[in-house]
Structure 1
Amino acid sequence: MPQPSQPLRKLGFLTIGLFDADDPARGHESTLGIIELGERLGFDSAWLRHRHLQYGISSPVAVLAAASQRTSRIELGTAVTPLGWENPLRLAEDLATVDVLSGGRLNPGISVGPPMHYDQVKDALYPGTADAQDFGYERVARLLDFVRGKPASDFSGVEGFEVFSDRVQPHSPGLGRRMWYGGGSLSSARWAGEHAMNFLTSSVVKAEESEDFAEVQLSHVRAFRAAHPDGDRARVSQGLVVIPTDSASSAQRAKYEEYARKRLPRTAAPQGPARLMFAPDLVGTSDEIAELLHAQAAFREIDEVAFALPFTFEHEDYVQILTDMATRLGPALGWQPTT
């Protein structure tokens, strides 16, 4: 069996935080409980996915602020926040605030591009200026500048009884080094590296130079590190849908296998005009999943993961999956829980 060049150093998980429209508090509380469980199990990080106008967490930064007060060690991230919905200056303030509240544990992941269904939402999001919005890398650059302490105003000083700063406050000095870019293309990988970000690569990539998912993902990891000032030491986290079944009931195993089976056809060929490629969901015992991961070229070049939890399962399913990840799969990959 192929072996990674180094043991897995950081184990994280990603959740979408689904909720019932008639009882949204229960779903949000479930997400917070899952993050607390992750810390008890020794996970290094917990990440929230961003969903607008859907029944998933629309404000991960707010939820992570709550999570920061119910945990003490686990790193907290977004994977990812689509910047098309955000004002970079205001988002920088929110991120810095939560980073301060968490004691420097925030890992914001972001992406570019116009919001989904933009024609239907643009008048509500950007009334009067929708056609003038720039949804490219420049929006990320602005956010990075504000987070890293560059001036946001040409005024500072005292005015009456009030004191003004020319940069975002609070300023959290280490946050700028914990900014992540979620990318699925070579251009995004290179841009993230050139701007000294960290890189999130997931189960979705663009079929640009190949139709082999593993080859494409590996090319992104290498292009990012080639462009990054830290070279091979630049941080990359891989996020695949991984479902260990070691302690699952027979009913849970059947549900997990059916979930993966329904999603498998989309992995056969590039999808849509963007030619998106999807990695198969990995379902099986921890030993079986570890063998599949060790066989992946991209996995062998990284030492951090944020495994994605399936979107539609129940709270007790996530408890079982996370427990198996921490107690069975992680150690099979050379990882040790943080105590």
Structure 2
Amino acid sequence: MPTPDSPLARLGFLTIGLFDPADPRGGHESTLRLIEHGERLGLDSAWLRHRHLQYGISSPVAVLAAASQRTSRIELGTAVTPIGAENPFRLAEDLATVDVLTGGRLNPGFSAGPPMNIDRYRDAIYPGTFEQEEFGYERLLRFRDFVRGDVVSTFSGTEGIEVFADTVQPHAAGLAERLWYGGGSTRSAEWAGRHGFHLLTSSVVQGELGDDFAENQLHQVRAYREALGARGRVSQGLVVIPTDSASPAQIERYEAYVASRAGRVGVPHGPRRMLFAADLLGTSEQLAERLWADAAFREIDEVAFALPFSFEHDDYLQILDDLAGRLGPLLGWKPAASA
């Protein structure tokens, strides 16, 4: 196995938090138990996808608030919240509150632009005003202004027996410096760097330099750091499935899952030529070799490996156990000390 230039500094995981619509509590409880398990294993971070009108987590704010009371160390993030479906003022209040509850462990990640499938529910969220809404980067910058503590009201002081502030409350010190942007193109990576966001890069990128996924991802990471003027925090979110402690039945299902998605790899999709990374499956030794052969991975200090959408809770426990106990150490990672 190639010797890495530097060890992996931070290891986390990302989940969509699927649930049975007939028993939504069960799925949400499963997600909370995974986060608790990740903390016990010494993982550095747990990230939630954000889904609307699907059987996955639609309110990561609520789930992370619950997780904040069941953990004490692991960092908690979103990857990603589409800011176009949010009121930036209200979201600033909610996320600042959760950050206070976590003791400063929140790492919200965002995307800009019209949210996925917004045309299907635009009238439910913006009845009569959709055409007037601004869905670009400015909406996200406005949110950052709010959590940073910029003035939002023309009045502060006491009125009767009530005291009013002119900034969003509570103020969560440091939250504005822990905001991430999910970029999939050179333009978005450069924007994140210029505006001081951390960069989330996933298993989907725009194929601007041809059909090689790693080449395009590496180019975007370097463009981000050049725009930032520093190395910056970059998190990579590939699907990585170690099989060290998996049962034969689990391995068979994992192999079927990977095979069902293999046809989309190496082929550009849609007018923006989006490319999908291959799902990585195998023993930790095999996975470590493949990751160190990945040009983009070799320049990234932290990862949030994505748990496959459709697996069972016990599958996720096995994957997290192998990530923390076997693959992580092979990549030079060390588990965080218990709080």
TM-score (norm. length: structure 1):
0.98
Offset of residue 125 of structure 1: 0.6
One-letter code of the match for 2:321?
Answer: T
CA distance in 2, matches of 1:8, 1:163: 48
Q: 1:302 aligns with which of 300, 303, 311?
A: 300
In structure 2, the residue corresponding to 1:291 is in which secondary structure?
helix
Offset of residue 120 of structure 1: 2.1
One-letter code of the match for 1:48?
Answer: L
CA distance in 2, matches of 1:131, 1:105: 36
1:316 paired with 2:305, answer: no
In structure 1, the residue corresponding to 2:135 is in which secondary structure?
coil
Counterpart contact for 1:244–1:321, Cα < 8 Å: yes
One-letter code of the match for 2:272?
Answer: A
Q: Percent identity?
A: 69
CA distance in 2, matches of 1:259, 1:184: 24
Offset of residue 116 of structure 1: 2.3
TM-score (norm. length: structure 2):
0.98
Counterpart contact for 1:3–1:300, Cα < 8 Å: no
**In the TM superposition, what whole-angstrom CA distance separates every residue of 1:68-115 from its partner, at most 9, and x where no partner exists?**
000000000000101111011111111110000000000000001212
- Structure 2: give runs of 5+ residues left out of the alignment: none
1:128 corresponds to: 128
Offset of residue 215 of structure 1: 0.8
1:186 paired with 2:171, answer: no
CA distance in 2, matches of 1:143, 1:283: 38
CA distance in 1, matches of 2:227, 2:162: 43
Offset of residue 212 of structure 1: 1.2
Counterpart contact for 2:75–2:106, Cα < 8 Å: yes
1:104 corresponds to: 104
1:165 corresponds to: 165
2:6 corresponds to: 6
1:338 corresponds to: 336
1:263 corresponds to: 261
Equivalences for residues 278-289 of structure 1 within 5 A: 278-289=276-287
CA distance in 1, matches of 2:57, 2:72: 22
1:42 corresponds to: 42
One-letter code of the match for 1:107?
Answer: N
CA distance in 1, matches of 2:148, 2:226: 23
Count of residue correspondences: 337
Offset of residue 209 of structure 1: 2.7
In structure 1, the residue corresponding to 2:78 is in which secondary structure?
strand
2:238 corresponds to: 240
CA distance in 1, matches of 2:239, 2:79: 13
Q: State the Cα RMSD in Å.
A: 1.0
Counterpart contact for 1:193–1:227, Cα < 8 Å: yes
CA distance in 1, matches of 2:187, 2:57: 29
Offset of residue 133 of structure 1: 1.1
Offset of residue 329 of structure 1: 0.4
Counterpart contact for 1:17–1:56, Cα < 8 Å: yes
CA distance in 1, matches of 2:298, 2:146: 35
- Structure 1: give runs of 5+ residues left out of the alignment: none
